[in-house]
Amino acid sequence: MQVTIPPSTSHPFPGLIYQLPNGLTVIHQDLPASSVVTVDVWVRAGAIAEPTPWFGMAHFLEHMIFKGTDRIQPGQFDAIIERCGGITNAATSHDYAHFFINTTAEHLPEALPLLADLLLHATIPQGEFEMERQVVLEEIRQAYDDPDWIGFQTLLAAAYPQHPYGRPILGDVDELMARSPQDMRQFHRAYYQPENMTVVIVGNLSQAEALDQVYAAFQTFPERSLVAAPTIQADPPMESVYRQRLALPRLEQARLMMAWVGPGVDQLQSSYGLDLLAALLAGSQSSRLVRELREERQWVQDIDSSFSLQHDSSLFTITAWLDPDQVERVEATLGDRLSELASMPITPLELNRCKRLMCNDYAFSTETASQLAGLYGYYHTIADATLSVTYPDQVKQLTPHDLQYLAGQYLSPYRYASVVLLPD
């Protein structure tokens, strides 16, 4: 059984989704009232695409994209964007890498060709590669000084013992040291190809202008390379509780971190329901766990729950900040509350409150050109951009029975991963 919600018809996609002859996807929405234009380029070249054992290559390449081409010197792109009054940044996840600029329509004809040149024709010079590798290695060292990062990566490894989602996006020191600029060039030329890329333009720019500029900038792609196919294995369902305790220095307060693996984009309606359950449990000041465990019983300093949608399978987490002697009591209580979710329907009053919270959060996160560009690019990279605007309608249609079923199906108190961080 799956939660099935009829497709939304009240919110048609407000922009254009167009595929150029070379296979590149362009998403455009004209916002005449906006003073800026956001260009966000999404590439299906996240950590999940890394062949064994090139772990960390996707994130490292994100750094090296900005190190120049035959026409652009290292640092020149940032200087030009700054001179235009714009900003630029990038990020890498397991499912994607993306690169964006915020500027004005007036300056886009200068900025967009430069971004395209960096993405398609990065030269990855030896000297810059060696220097930037030290930057990435320092990022890894700093991450291992962060107790919350260590705890979360331990939790991911427990939830995904085989799937790449269980690996750190930053990669592994030994493997990064073993890689060469030529390895990275191969990875770049294999994945930074038109069928893997989506260019999103949102702002004060007409459809004709947007398409003309993208078509002109994204003409010549790198000669295609081949790399070994990544090793991706689906993890079997968890059959019991996996617990791990870590004693860490410089940790002032214990953490209890719990994780359940949920459905991917092939069951998007179920994902919406789990997102709502995260809000119901600990997504606001008035949510169940916050009210009971923090305000009434004062067993935790704070508690939070979240749902992260990913392409292959998603992650539902609960994290509590608490004294070490409260860990067992809180974990047992959380198990009881999840059992209640599966056995007792949510009241209409509480359900409607959570729906309002989720729909309002969606509205607040889709107000600007950059927010919309990120939303469309994210959804189109892991699923389909048109689904991004159906979220409020899909949430509103969820029933107490749907949520009861999802809690029983995915949030078992007998099958999850648990990591406890304790002061050393």
Report the amino acid identity of residue 110.
E
Neighbour tally for 144: CB within 10 Å = 13
Strands 197-203, 37-43: pairing kind: antiparallel
Strands 314-322, 300-308: pairing kind: antiparallel
Asked if 18 and 29 count as a contact pair (C-beta separation under 8 A), the reply is: no
pLDDT digit string, tens, across residues 85-96: 999 999 999 999
pLDDT digit string, tens, across residues 18-35: 999 999 999 999 999 998
Looking at residue 6, its pLDDT comes to 46
Residues in the chain, how many? 424
Average pLDDT over residues 44-56: 95
pLDDT digit string, tens, across residues 164-198: 999 999 999 999 999 999 999 999 999 999 999 99
Average pLDDT, the chain: 95
All structural domains of the chain with their residue ranges: 16-217, 241-423
Average pLDDT over residues 203-226: 96
User: What is the three-class DSSP state of 18?
Assistant: strand
Looking at residue 420, its pLDDT comes to 98
Neighbour tally for 208: CB within 10 Å = 9
Residue 4 has pLDDT above 60, yes or no: no
Looking at residue 10, its pLDDT comes to 60
Joined together, the tokens standing for residue 298 give 């004062």
User: What is the three-class DSSP state of 28?
Assistant: strand
Q: How many Å apart are CA 390 and CA 404, to the nearest integer?
A: 22
Looking at residue 401, its pLDDT comes to 96
Average pLDDT over residues 288-292: 98
Asked if 98 and 41 count as a contact pair (C-beta separation under 8 A), the reply is: yes
Q: How many Å apart are CA 96 and CA 94, to the nearest integer?
A: 6
DSSP for 207-243 reads HHHHHHHHHHHS--PPPP---PPP---PPPPP-SEEE
Residue 403 has pLDDT above 50, yes or no: yes
Asked if 278 and 341 count as a contact pair (C-beta separation under 8 A), the reply is: no
pLDDT digit string, tens, across residues 255-281: 999 999 999 999 999 999 999 999 999
Looking at residue 233, its pLDDT comes to 85
Q: How many Å apart are CA 326 and CA 254, to the nearest integer?
A: 9
Class of domain 241-423: alpha beta
Looking at residue 150, its pLDDT comes to 97
pLDDT digit string, tens, across residues 347-361: 999 999 999 999 999
Q: How many Å apart are CA 407 and CA 394, to the nearest integer?
A: 18
Residue 5 has pLDDT above 80, yes or no: no
Joined together, the tokens standing for residue 420 give 């406890």
Domain 16-217: what homologous superfamily? Answer: Metalloenzyme, LuxS/M16 peptidase-like (3.30.830.10)
Domain 16-217 and domain 241-423, same fold? Reply is yes
Element (H, E) at 403: helix 400-410
Looking at residue 212, its pLDDT comes to 97
pLDDT digit string, tens, across residues 119-151: 999 999 999 999 999 999 999 999 999 999 999
Tell me, what DSSP letter sits at residue 7?
P
Q: How many CA atoms lie within 13 A of 234 on its CB side?
A: 9
Report the amino acid identity of residue 157.
A
Is there a cis peptide before residue 53, judged by omega within 30 degrees of 0?
yes
Neighbour tally for 296: CB within 10 Å = 9
Candidates 93, 380, 88, 57; CA nearest to 188 is 57
